[in-house]
Amino acid sequence: MRRHLRMAGLFAAALGNAALWMACEDPGPTFTRVSVEGGGPEEEAGLDAEAGVDARASDASAEADAPVDAAAPLAPVTLATGSGDQPDPAIGWGDHTCVIAGADRSLYCWGANDHGQLGIGTTGLGATTADVSTATRIATDETGLIFNGLDEVSAGAWHTCARKGDLLFCWGERFSGAQAEPPADPATDRTKPRAIGNLDVKAIAAGGPHTCALKANGRIACFGHSYFNELGRPRAMDPACTAPFFYAYGGVVEHTCSGEMVEATSKLTNAVAVVAGETHSCALAGASVHCWGTNTLGQLGTPGAQVGELAAQQVVTDPVAMTPIDQVTAVAAGGGKHACALRAGKVLCWGSNASGQLGADPAVLAQRPNAAAVAGIDDATAIGVADGVSCAVRTGGTVWCWGAAESGQLGDGGAIDGGLVSFTPLQIKGPNGAGNLTGVRAVAPGRRHVCAQKTDGTVWCWGKNDRR
């Protein structure tokens, strides 16, 4: 079975002025480019493609991480796709994407807006009616102040966060406290960016229904869904919540949530990066990776089946000798049930392997509680992860992905193992399968689609396109 890639080239920003342009390709042969200059409060770059498996911008929170100096915070993430696991397709898996672009470093978002995660002042209140098919600029925050000059963006399945200097902004779903405020009724989505103070933030991570921030002191502060100890601090006093109202993690229907910004109890004080999975969180510190939260699928990268591990566990490469992973320069979790790390050009992954996202045959290996290298990749320069999908940018700017393939997430790289997954990395082809996608610097997978940003600023996407 082969899936032909239909790419949507989004944005490329003319960084010297306010103009953005977007090239998109419909399922047919026509390739169009739309230019947008200045404009009204919500600038739009038109993107109109039919629903289905094609080239479009939509989906979830994957982190696109580049290598970093171990002594300094990671290079900021400027492209993010929201990712989550949801058994009801009508609700979606977190199907939106955001990118920082333009000379004024504004944020443009598109796709699913069922909980106001696009930040443009509208919400579908759980439905698809407010989804957006055009890349739309968030013009102002909720107080009316101009919203630009941004440094970083991170997307959860149903909420989004951005960083401007040391200030954190979040918007979208409010039912879990993932915006550092008391959990609210699902009908009260926050539709514009809200400033969250008193954190002195250096990096951010929006996961499933929780958020983590790396503070200037090297410590981590998290808020939101807490039942699985994904916030890294005691949850005994956290109130019960009905959110996320459509989650039932492994049959667990109990939930606690907190909007309090409390530092994790881990003794990590030298973290340089933080990432958030669906119900676990990880930090990069001392060139090693430390994770906390649920470990039922090996998400913490260490043996054990903890439902909720409070203390940060060091990821290991050998589950018997318990050899800690080292020399790591980037880590990615992207709201999923697994995580990957970048080490000397190799991609090492751990956690769930239900779709082959660890680079191993899921019929043989369902999960792995230790980090192991993905075969065939030894020159990776950046990585991205979403639920069920892993991707890497390699030397020369090519993109390779592996894992779930039912929505065209892996583009067109050859035969798909069993039709729905590929545990072998596949190279992403160019538009209509011509040549290969090259010149890429970052990749941001979602649960059902993937986006990549080239060095010239353009963004290219492929996969599912049913959320506008």
How confident is the model over 247-289, as pLDDT tens digits?
666 667 788 999 998 899 887 889 999 999 999 999 999 999 9
Query: Which tokens sit at 119?
Result: 């930040």
Residues 295-329 have pLDDT tens digits of 999 999 999 988 899 999 999 999 999 999 999 99
Q: How big is the CA angle at 240 (ends 89 and 273), to the nearest 5 degrees?
A: 70
Q: Which positions of the chain have pLDDT values less than 50?
A: 1-71, 414
CA pair distance 89, 344, nearest whole angstrom: 38
For the sheet containing 152-155, what is the strand order? 152-155, 159-164, 167-172, 190-196
State residue 7's pLDDT score: 41
Phi, psi (rounded to 5 degrees) for 332? -145, 140
| CB distance 296 to 354 below 8 Å | no
Residue 101: C-alpha distances to residues 62, 131, 151, 296 (Å): 18, 21, 10, 39
Domain 8-464 bears CATH identifier 2.170.120.30: no
Query: Which tokens sit at 71?
Result: 């002594």
CA max distance for the chain: 60
Q: How big is the CA angle at 152 (ends 459 and 183), to the nearest 5 degrees?
A: 115
Q: How many residues does the chain have?
A: 468
pTM for the structure as a whole: 0.87
| CB distance 47 to 22 below 8 Å | yes
Give start and end residues of each alpha helix (H) in 274-423. none
- Tell me which amino acid residue 105 is: R
Q: Residue 68's closest CA among 77, 60, 59?
A: 77
191: left (phi over 0), alpha (psi -120 to 50) or beta: alpha
State residue 183's pLDDT score: 87
Query: Which tokens sit at 147?
Result: 């919203």
CA pair distance 165, 461, nearest whole angstrom: 28
State residue 412's pLDDT score: 63
State residue 254's pLDDT score: 81
State residue 94's pLDDT score: 72
State residue 246's pLDDT score: 57
From the number of C-beta atoms within 10 Å of its C-beta (0-12, 13-18, 19+), residue 29 rates as exposed
Query: Which tokens sit at 158?
Result: 């149903």
State residue 417's pLDDT score: 60
State residue 388's pLDDT score: 93
CA pair distance 148, 146, nearest whole angstrom: 6
State residue 294's pLDDT score: 93
Residue 256: HSE in the Cβ half-sphere, 13 Å Cα cutoff:
16
242: left (phi over 0), alpha (psi -120 to 50) or beta: alpha
CA pair distance 382, 138, nearest whole angstrom: 27
Residue 77: C-alpha distances to residues 66, 177, 249, 320, 384 (Å): 8, 23, 28, 35, 11
Chain centre to alpha carbon of residue 278: 10
Q: Provide the 3-class DSSP secondary structure of residue 298.
A: coil
State residue 24's pLDDT score: 36
